[in-house]
Amino acid sequence: MSEPGIQYPETDDEVARIVSEACANRRPIEIRGGGTKRGYGRPLQVASALSVEKLSGITNYDPSELVMAARAGTPLEEIEAALALNKQMLTFEPMDHRPLLGASGVPTIGGVFAGNISGPRRISAGAARDSLLGVRFVNGSGEIIKSGGRVMKNVTGLDLVKLMAGSWGTLGVLCEVIFKVLPRPETMATIVVKGLNDAQAAEAMAAAMGMSVEVSGAAHLPESVVHKIADGALKGGPATVLRLEGLEPSVAVRRERLVEEMHRRGEVSVLDADATTSVWRDIRDVKPFAGASAGVSVKPVWRVSVAPSAGHQLVAALRLKTGVDAFFDWQGGLVWLQMEADPEADLVRKYIKALGGGHATLVRADAATRAAVPVFEPQPAALEALTKRIKEQFDPRAILNPGRMSSAV
Amino acid sequence: MTDLIAFLEPSRSVIDRRPTIIADLAELLPEGCLITEERELVPFDTDAFVSYRRMPLAVVLPETTAQVAAVMKYCNDNAIPVIPRGAGTSLSGGAIPQEDAVVIGVSKMNQIVEVDYPNRTAVVQAGVTNISISQSVDADGFFYAPDPSSQLACTIGGNIGMNSGGAHCLKYGVTTNNLLGVKMVMFDGSIVEIGGKALDSAGYDLLGLICGSEGQLGIVTEATVRLLAKPEGARPVLFGFESSVAAGACVTEIIGSGIIPVAIEFMDKPAIEICEAFAQAGYPMDVEALLIVEVEGSDAEMDAMLARIIEIARKHAVKTIKESQSATEAALIWKGRKSAFGATGRIADYICMDGTVPLGQLSHVLEKTSEIIDHYGLRVANVFHAGDGNMHPLILFDANDPEESMKAEMAGNDILKLCVDAGGCLTGEHGVGIEKRDLMRHQYTDADLAQQMRVRAAFDPQWILNPSKVFPLERRNGSQPGDPVPDAAAAPGKTAA
Ligand SMILES: Cc1cc2nc3c(=O)[nH]c(=O)nc-3n(C[C@H](O)[C@H](O)[C@H](O)COP(=O)(O)OP(=O)(O)OC[C@H]3O[C@@H](n4cnc5c(N)ncnc54)[C@H](O)[C@@H]3O)c2cc1C
Ligand SMILES: Cc1cc2nc3c(=O)[nH]c(=O)nc-3n(C[C@H](O)[C@H](O)[C@H](O)COP(=O)(O)OP(=O)(O)OC[C@H]3O[C@@H](n4cnc5c(N)ncnc54)[C@H](O)[C@@H]3O)c2cc1C
C-alpha cells in the first residue's frame, strides 16, 4: 500500500541512499514507523517521507539470553507474540496510543523506541531507554552508525543508544534495535484501596513503594475516571491500585503484607491475575480519555511527568483555575490531564515549575492548537543551545523530521 | 613499566604559563583548595591503573559548584586541559592527568543535600562516596542500588563518569538506571541542570549520554539518585560444578526459567584457589567452577526461589551445594568472592580486564581466553558477574619483568578483541580511559567513532575535558588515522588566551 511521495526502503543501504540524496538536495523527509500518531505533535513541513514498514522482522532472539533484535519497522504485535510464546515480555510495558488518539495503524518497535514509550512498569523496571541495548541507524548525512550491542552492560564510548531513545526520529532513522526482555511474571495481583482522595492516595502509594514488597505499578483513579477502567470493575468511589508481580509464593507473601498495611487507610480488596491484566492495560493506554475517531474534535490531553509527590498538587492547583480531569500513574508522578477546552499550556507549565520541575507533552489536540502551543516542554536556554548543537552533529542539514520536537529540532 | 599506551604531547605553551595559571587559579578559589607543590601533587598522578602516571600542572579541590564553574571557565578561556576526578579508583586510567592539565577533584563536595523518602530520591554532591548514600538511609529501610566493589572509596561523580555497576546490578541495573538528574558544569563554566525528581526528562536523553562519558562532557557537581526499599533479607547459595561449561549452562537456564536473582557470580578454579587460600570461606576445592547465586525477599520467598534454583543446578550435575544457614555463613560465602582482587594481589601482579559478552557466548569465551593466556605463557583467574555477561579475567604476571608485563598487556588486548568478536564489547563497567582507547577501532567503524566524537564536540568544542581518554588519539579534530596529533591548545575553535 504505497503512497506517492513515500519511499519504502528494504535494506539499511537503501535507507542510507535515500537519506544521502535528501541530504544532498537539502530536502527534508518525514520518518514514519506505523504512523499511529500521524497528524499529532508539531506538524511537519516536508515534501516526502521514508517509511520503515519494509524494514521488518525479528533478526535475533535467544530467550535464554533475555535479548531480542528486530528491524525497526517490525510491528509491536509481532514482537509481543514472539515473546509471549516464550513466556517473556517487554519490561517497559509500552502504551498503545490508538485508543487515546483515535488513530489506526500498526505501532512499530522503532516508533516505540524513537518515542521512548513506557507504561506503568516504568516505575519499577525502567523506561524503554533502559531496555534498549543497541541500535543501528542512519544519520542525517546518510551514514550507517551503530552503537551498543547485545550485552546488558556496556560503557564503551558515548552511549548514543540512550540518545536515540526518545529523539523522535530527529537524529537518525533507526534500522535495527536490540533490547532486553524479561520473563513474564508467573502471576499478578492488584491491591485496590477505595475511597482515598488524591492527596491521601499519593501518601498511600509512597508508603507502598517504600515497602520491600516490590510494587510494580502504582496508580490512582479518581471518581471521575474510575468507571471507565476495566469495564467498570472498580467503580464506586476513587480507587488506588497497587500491582504485585512475580513467582506465586512471592506474590502470596507480599499481597498479605501490603493488604495489612493498606487496611489502615481504606477499604481494601484484591484483584486476581486476569482482572489485574485488564485494569493495568486500561491505565497504560489512558482509556479514561479515549478519543473519538479521527477527525472528530476532542478535548486536549497532556502527559505530565513530575516528582510523584507533586502530581496531585499540580492537579489541585489547576482545578482552581480551569476545568480539568486527571488520573495518576507512576505513584502520582505521571499525570494524565484532560482539559475542558483550552489546553492551558502556560498554566500547566507554570505550575510544574513551581512544584519543583518536570515536563508536559501535549499528546492530543487539534491541528491549530498544536501549531500554536509547544508540544514538547520548552528547554532552558543553555539546554536548548546544547540540543541544537547535538542535532547539528547528527543531521547537519536538518532534513530528518525537522521541527518535530521544537522549532529548533 | 611498559609503555604501550601513548599520551598526548603536553602543550608547551600551557606549561610555560604555569606560574600565571597558578596565580590566577588562586584568585578563583578559597584557601586550601589549590594544590601545586610537587609532593602534594603525587597522589594525583595516577588512579587505580597504576602502571601509568603523569604529574598534573595543578590540582584544584573546589567546595562549590560556582567554584568549579569559575575554574572551568578559566581553563576553557585559556585552552588548558581539565581532568575531572572523583576518588581516582578508575581501573582504566580515566582519571590519570597529563602535564599540561588542571585536575578538578570533587572530593570536598561530599554532602548529602537532601533525602526525600516519599519520592525515594537523594540529592547528593558529586564527591559523596557510593557507600555513604546507602549508609545514610539504611536505618530507614532504603538503599542506593549500584554497588561497585570499590564503593567504600569511589564517588558518585566517578560512578556517573564510568556508569559503574556492581554485583547486584543483574536485578537493579547500573548507575544510568538509577540516576534521575545532575547538576553539571559545562566547558564554558555555564551550569546546567538536567532531570530531577521526575522519572523522565524532557528533550533528548542527555542524562543517558552523560552517564558513562568519562568526564568528557562536563563536570558533574550534584546528582539526584533513586533510592529503593531494602529487601527483607538476602541469601546466597554456592554451587560447585565439574566444568565451566556446566556452570555457564546453569546460569542461562536459571535466567531462562523466569527467575532473576540479584546476583550470579562466577569463579573458575584458579580464582577459587586464590580466594580460598586468602579467605578460608569453605569453598569446594574439587570443582572447576563455582557460582554464587543470591536471592532476596522474605524467608518464604527465598526458600521458594532457592528450591527452584537448586533444582535447576541439579540438572547440570552440580557437585557441591552450600546453602547458607545463617548470616555468618552468608557473609563467608561473599567474603571469598569479595576478596578476589586483594587475594590475587598478594600472589602476583595482575591486570583486571573488563569485557562483556552475550550470555550464550560465556563458555566459548572462557575457553578461548585460556588459549590466549597459554599462548603468552601466563596465568589467569576468572571472577565475574555471570548474570550479565560481564567478564573480569585477572591476568597474573610479574611487573618486574618487562617482557612479561608486555605480554600481559598484549594478552589483555587479545581477550578484549575476543569479547568484541563474540558479539560483546570492550568494557562493561571500568570504562575505556586510556587503557582501551586504541582498541576502540576494533569495536567501532570510523563512521561510528566520528559520530561519537562529533557529539563530544557539541559539549566541549575545544576538546579540553579529559582530552586524551576514550577516543584514539589520531582521530582528533576530524583528522585521519596517521595524521599528526594536534596540540590541544592549537585546536580549532580556541578562544583568545
Ligand atoms: C507529538 C507527539 C507526542 C506524543 N507523546 C507521547 C507521549 O508523551 N507518550 C507516549 O507514550 N506516546 C506519545 N506519542 C505517541 C507515540 O508516538 C506512538 O504511540 C508510538 O510510539 C508510535 O509508534 P509508530 O510505529 O506508529 O511510530 P510513528 O507514529 O510512525 O512514529 C513515532 C515517532 O518516531 C519516529 N520514528 C518512527 N520510526 C522510526 C525509526 N525507525 N527511526 C527513527 N524514528 C522513527 C517518527 O518519525 C515519529 O517522530 C506521541 C506522539 C506524538 C506525535
Ligand atoms: C578494587 C576496585 C574494585 C572496583 N570494582 C568495581 C566494580 O565492581 N564495578 C565498577 O563499575 N567499577 C569498579 N571499579 C572501578 C572504579 O571504582 C569505578 O570506575 C568508579 O566509579 C570510579 O569512581 P571514582 O570516584 O574513583 O572516579 P575516578 O577514578 O576519579 O574517575 C573516573 C572517571 O570519571 C570521571 N569523573 C570523576 N568525577 C567526575 C565528575 N564529578 N564529573 C564528571 N566526570 C567525573 C573521571 O574523569 C574519570 O574519567 C573498581 C575499582 C577498584 C580499584
* ipTM for the predicted complex: 0.95
The pLDDT-based confidence of B325 (bands split at 50, 70, 90) is confident
Q: What per-residue confidence (pLDDT) applies to A297?
A: 61
Burial grade of B2 (CB within 10 A; 0-12, 13-18, 19 or more): middle
CATH (domain of A243): 3.30.70.2190
Q: What per-residue confidence (pLDDT) applies to A291?
A: 78
Q: What per-residue confidence (pLDDT) applies to A94?
A: 95
Q: Are residues A294 and A342 in the same domain?
A: yes
For B:266-325, CB contacts with A below 8 A are 297-298, 300-301, 303-305, 308
A36 lines ligand 1 (CB under 6 A): yes
A303 lines ligand 1 (CB under 6 A): yes
Question: In the predicted model, what is the mean pLDDT of residues B144-161?
Answer: 96
Question: In the predicted model, what is the mean pLDDT of residues B262-280?
Answer: 94
Q: Give per-residue pLDDT as tens, B88-121.
A: 999 999 999 999 999 999 999 999 999 999 999 9
Q: Give per-residue pLDDT as tens, B376-392.
A: 999 999 998 888 889 99
How does strand B34-35 pair with strand A172-183? unpaired
Cross-strand pairs, A303: A336, A361
Cell numbers representing residue B63 in the block: 567546595
A115 lines ligand 1 (CB under 6 A): yes
- The residues near B480 (Cβ < 8 Å, ≥ 6 apart) are B474
Contacts of B300 in chain A (CB under 8 A): 249, 252-253
Number of H helices, E strands in chain B: 17, 20
Looking at chain A, which residue has its C-alpha nearest residue B426? A156
Domain extent, residue A333, equals 288-377
Q: Are residues A263 and A208 in the same domain?
A: yes
Give the residue from A260, A285, A310 where a domain finishes: A285
Residues B341, B347, B351, B357, Cα dihedral to 10°: -60
- Which bin fits A84, alpha (ψ -120 to 50), beta or left (φ > 0)? alpha
Q: Are residues A21 and A162 in the same domain?
A: yes
Q: What average pLDDT values come out for chain A (409 residues) when binned by 10 residues?
A: 80 98 94 69 75 96 92 97 96 92 88 95 96 97 95 93 96 97 95 98 98 97 96 94 94 96 96 97 96 69 97 98 97 97 95 96 88 90 95 96 79
Please tell me the total number of residues recorded for chain B in this structure. 497
Nearest ligand 1 atom to alpha carbon A73: 41
Ligand 1: residue whose CA is nearest its atom 13 = A363
* Residue from A67, A156, A309 whose CB has the most chain B CBs within 10 Å, to mutate: A156
Q: What per-residue confidence (pLDDT) applies to A103?
A: 78
Question: In the predicted model, what is the mean pLDDT of residues B167-182?
Answer: 94
Q: Are residues A323 and A307 in the same domain?
A: yes
Q: Are residues A275 and A301 in the same domain?
A: no
The closest CB to that of A154, out of B258, B300, B425, belongs to B425
B244 touches chain A (CB under 8 A): no
The closest CB to that of B297, out of A87, A250, A358, belongs to A250
| Ligand 2 pocket: which of B68, B89, B179 to mutate (most atoms within 8 A of CB) | B89
Angle, CA A63 vertex, CA A58 and CA A67 arms, to 5°:
60
Question: In the predicted model, what is the mean pLDDT of residues B63-75?
Answer: 98
Q: Are residues A165 and A206 in the same domain?
A: no
Domain count, chain A: 3
B214 lines ligand 2 (CB under 6 A): yes
Q: What per-residue confidence (pLDDT) applies to B494?
A: 32
* Domains and their CATH numbers in chain B: 12-105 (3.30.43.10), 112-229 (3.30.465.10), 234-341 (3.30.70.3450), 348-437 (3.30.70.2740)
Q: How far is the CA of B151 from the centre of ligand 2 (A)?
A: 9
Q: How far is the CA of A112 from the centre of ligand 1 (A)?
A: 6
Sheet of A324-329, strands arranged across: A267-271, A187-194, A239-246, A217-221, A324-329, A334-339, A301-306, A358-364
Contacts of B384 in chain A (CB under 8 A): none
Q: Are residues A116 and A22 in the same domain?
A: yes
Q: What per-residue confidence (pLDDT) applies to B496?
A: 31
Work out the minimum CA distance from A386 to partner chain B, whole angstroms.
7
Judge whether residue B20 has pLDDT over 90.
yes
Q: Using the structure block, give the residue that is written with the C-alpha cell 568544542.
A: B461
Q: Are residues A114 and A258 in the same domain?
A: no
Work out the minimum CA distance from B309 to partner chain A, whole angstroms.
13
Contacts of B170 in chain A (CB under 8 A): 152
Amino acid A323 reads G
CA A112 to the chain's CA centroid: 7
Q: Are residues A11 and A152 in the same domain?
A: yes
Angle, CA A12 vertex, CA A8 and CA A18 arms, to 5°:
55
* Residue from A60, A158, A181, A200 whose CB has the most chain B CBs within 10 Å, to mutate: A158
